[in-house]
């Protein structure tokens, strides 16, 4: 009858609250294997978190999970080795990033062979819960997770994002906030672009004018800023607790005006017949000739490619040596990024000589160099990485021919500073518009002819900050695109589809709303 039909309709529309199935969970990045189980788990006030295994990191992961669950649930959720319905089991001490989750009516168990894997399992668990879990105040919600299981591990070992803290300085607090967001998407490398024409952002004790002078302004003429070495260590430690490794970048030999404005002795000179030096202190707007090496002017515009170090000057290498030494001493991660992009006013021979000497310095301090892809025109040391950005496949091929891997940052896909479309309120568009579907729908191994997974270290999404001045700007450009790129880096190609992502990302939109993340509501999905 009409009445039974109506009744059935009401039930289907939610008149009777039915638990969604496990496989409908909106997890990003999508796990490699996910299967529905039976029953469902209800997180309740008397429950706890049990640690199986040992080590300080395991305890930290347990406490991290508790700190994420307590505010919205209002439950105590004690962390102990004795008992608990949420079980974190560490079966080894390896560097594996793999984990498994099993949800039954009685418990949720996350197991992993390595601490990073366990941490990623925790991130997945947080996404399995209703999105209200992201609130910082108690919610009256039934904390139900449908039964099921997950087996997961990343496709690429390097999954990163870059913050350009040079064009506009980004506060310590905002960097930590960004790290938290990266962790939620299982990203594991934070590249800090610490220096550029417009600013020097890290204290170097042996060259103090770098921050006194070079750190004193930014694009648009604001007051700039820098991290003391103590603050940098704080970033490194905060990131490490979230299994994120910091990659510091000192961009050279181009993009160095902030140095040349701080130390005139480093400013390139041209030998005159009478033995004097002439220095062209120039910005794109202004050129001044003087007859000694003299500091250039601070720069607050956004032109690129007009400054350079002097690769014939020994002082240049003494300078680079001190900077690499001081930063390497406070950087536990394996990589040091030497920049190398857009050195348009450096002679080609000088550029190659410079890059090769700087690679040696980096290696002397125990680090592996990463450079923007132009560095592959030089002889790369074994293991060094070229970061593919310019869409100059030639440079990537030069790296591969030398037996070196590349890091994938194709500007038409992952440049977070590119506008979404012509209406975007900030951002640039020299590489075109990058809406959410463009950021999502690509495959790292298929971009350059002849490349396979073995040639690719991973994927990194840079956020250049010429037009970014505050957290709202970061939010608008990074989200939702960062979540799409994280899935490209984590989930294998066969598992990925735009339609599936487009269904899951709106749930994350709700979470971002709860967290106050001012993401861009791309019209490509229904929020
Ligand atoms: C190119 S990408 C640059 C940066 C700019 C960016 C702006 C790269 C290696 N260099 O200096 O900030 O474009 O989109």
**What pLDDT digit, counting tens, does each position of 347-406 carry?**
999 999 999 999 999 999 999 999 999 999 999 999 999 999 987 799 999 999 999 999
Whether 388 lines ligand 1, by a CB cut-off of 6 Å, is: no
Give residue for tokens 């796990």.
Answer: 31
Q: CA 259, 261, 266, 267 torsion: positive or negative?
A: positive
Strands 406-408, 456-463: pairing kind: parallel
Interface ipTM: 0.94
Q: For the segment 196-240, what is each residue's pLDDT rounded down to a tens digit?
A: 999 999 999 999 999 999 999 999 999 999 999 999 999 999 999
Residue 272, pLDDT > 70, answer no
Cα 419 to middle of ligand 1, angstroms: 14
pLDDT at position 277 is 62
Residue of 327 and 272 predicted with greater confidence: 327
Overall average pLDDT of the 120-143 stretch:
97
List, in sequence order, every residue forming a beta bridge with 418; answer none if it has no partner.
428
Asked if residue 424 has pLDDT above 80, the reply is: yes
250: part of which helix (H) or strand (E)?
strand 245-252
Question: Does domain 20-152 fall into CATH 3.10.20.90?
Answer: no
pLDDT at 92: 85
Q: Is the CB of 464 under 6 A from ligand 1?
A: yes
Confidence of residue 273 (pLDDT cuts 50, 70, 90): low
Please state the three-class secondary structure of 326-394 as a single string. Answer: HHHHCCCCCEEEEECCCCCCCCHHHHHHHHHHHHHHHHHCCCEEEEEHHHHHCCCCCCCEEEECCCCHH
Domains 20-152 and 158-269+298-475 share a fold: no
**Model-level pTM?**
0.94
374 lines ligand 1 (CB under 6 A): no
Check residue 391 and give its pLDDT.
Answer: 77
Per-residue pLDDT at 20: 76
Cβ(207)–Cβ(261) under 8 Å?
no
Superfamily of the domain at 158-269+298-475: Glycosidases (3.20.20.80)
Burial (CB count within 10 angstroms: exposed 0-12, middle 13-18, buried 19+), residue 453: exposed
Ligand 1 atom closest to the CA of 418, numbered from 1: 14
Tell me if residue 329 is catalytic: no
Please state the atom number of ligand 1 nearest to the C-alpha of residue 428.
Answer: 14
Task: Look at residue 296 in the predicted model and tell me its pLDDT.
Answer: 86
Question: Would you kindly state where each structural domain of the chain is located, as residue ranges?
Answer: 20-152, 158-269+298-475
């Amino acid at each position: 009858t009409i009445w039974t039909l109506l009744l059935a309709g009401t039930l289907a529309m939610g008149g009777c609250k039915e638990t969604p199935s496990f496989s409908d969970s909106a997890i990003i990045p999508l796990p490699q294997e996910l299967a529905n189980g039976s029953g469902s788990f209800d997180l309740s006030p008397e429950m706890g978190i049990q640690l199986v295994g040992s080590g300080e990191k395991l305890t930290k992961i347990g406490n991290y999970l508790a700190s994420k669950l307590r505010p919205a649930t209002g439950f105590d959720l004690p962390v102990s080795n004795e008992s608990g319905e949420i079980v974190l089991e560490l079966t080894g001490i390896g560097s594996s990033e793999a984990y498994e989750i099993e949800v039954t009516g009685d418990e949720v168990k996350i197991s992993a062979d390595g601490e990073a894997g366990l941490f990623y399992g925790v991130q997945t668990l947080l996404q399995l819960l209703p999105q209200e879990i992201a609130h910082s105040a108690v919610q009256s919600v039934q904390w139900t997770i449908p039964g099921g299981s997950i087996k997961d591990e990343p496709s690429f070992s390097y999954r990163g994002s870059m913050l350009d803290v040079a064009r506009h300085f980004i506060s310590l607090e905002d960097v930590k906030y960004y790290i938290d967001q990266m962790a939620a998407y299982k990203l594991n490398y934070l590249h800090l672009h610490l220096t550029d024409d417009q600013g020097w952002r890290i204290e170097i004790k042996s060259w103090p004018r770098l921050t006194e002078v070079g750190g004193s302004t930014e694009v648009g003429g604001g007051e700039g800023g820098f991290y003391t070495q103590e603050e940098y260590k704080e970033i490194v430690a905060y990131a490490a607790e979230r299994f994120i490794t910091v990659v510091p970048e000192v961009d050279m030999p181009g993009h160095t005006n902030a140095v040349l404005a701080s130390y005139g002795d480093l400013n390139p000179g041209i030998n005159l017949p009478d033995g004097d030096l002439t220095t062209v202190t120039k910005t794109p707007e202004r050129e001044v000739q003087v007859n000694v090496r003299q500091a250039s002017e601070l720069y607050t515009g956004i032109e690129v490619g007009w400054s350079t170090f002097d690769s014939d000057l020994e002082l240049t290498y003494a300078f680079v040596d001190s900077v690499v030494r001081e930063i390497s001493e406070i950087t536990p991660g394996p990589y040091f990024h030497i920049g190398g992009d857009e050195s348009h006013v450096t002679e080609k021979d000088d550029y190659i000589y410079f890059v090769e000497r700087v690679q040696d310095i980096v290696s002397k301090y125990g680090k592996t160099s990463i450079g923007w892809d132009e560095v592959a025109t030089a002889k790369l040391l074994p293991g060094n990485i070229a970061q593919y950005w310019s869409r100059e496949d030639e440079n990537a091929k030069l790296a591969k021919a030398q037996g070196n891997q590349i890091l994938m940052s194709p500007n038409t896909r992952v440049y977070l500073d590119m506008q979404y479309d012509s209406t975007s309120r900030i951002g640039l568009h020299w590489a075109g518009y990058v809406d959410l579907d463009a950021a999502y729908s690509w495959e790292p191994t298929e971009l350059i002819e002849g490349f396979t997974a073995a040639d690719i270290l991973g994927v990194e999404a840079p956020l250049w900050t010429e037009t970014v001045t505050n957290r709202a700007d970061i939010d608008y450009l990074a989200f939702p695109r960062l979540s799409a790129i994280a899935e490209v880096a984590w989930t294998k190609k066969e598992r990925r589809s735009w339609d599936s992502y487009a269904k899951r990302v709106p749930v994350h939109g709700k979470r971002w709303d709860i967290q106050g993340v001012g993401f861009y509501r791309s019209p490509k999905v229904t929020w």
